Amino acid sequence: MATQVIQADQSNWEAEVMQSSQLVMVDFWAVWCGPCQMVAPIVEELAGEYEGKLKVMKLNTDEAPEVAAQYQIMSIPTIVFFKDGKPVEKLVGVRPKPQFKQTIDSLLEP
């Protein structure tokens, strides 16, 4: 079964992120952003590896600028982790996959 990275926008933000019972990883990106394209395959891989434990979403900052502004996203790519509707961790820029995994693992610990 192919892993689903959910496209986030203004219309589904409340239901998918704020009301989620599981850890949510949101990739704030844009089509024209080169570094965002470098992070995209890592985000896809993480969605597969953490399926059932982590909800992975991508938010195009050009299509949902209100949401990006709400979380002070000044540069992209920015990955924000949400727990119980609150941002708990923010990673800005391109990072190696092990760094993402380390962050996810620490946030998933009880």
pLDDT averaged over every residue in the chain: 95
Integer-rounded Cα Rg, in Å, for the chain is 13
How does DSSP classify residue 69? H
Question: 6-108 in CATH: which number?
Answer: 3.40.30.10
Under 8 Å between Cβ of 100 and 91 = yes
Query: Active-site residue among 33, 39, 59, 68?
Result: 33
Low-confidence ranges of the chain (pLDDT < 70): 1-3
pLDDT in tens, 14-25: 999 999 999 999
Nearest to 63 by CA among 30, 17, 26, 15: 30
pTM for this prediction:
0.95
Tell me whether residue 36 is one of the annotated catalytic residues: yes
Query: Active-site residue among 36, 46, 59, 76?
Result: 36
Tell me whether residue 70 is one of the annotated catalytic residues: no
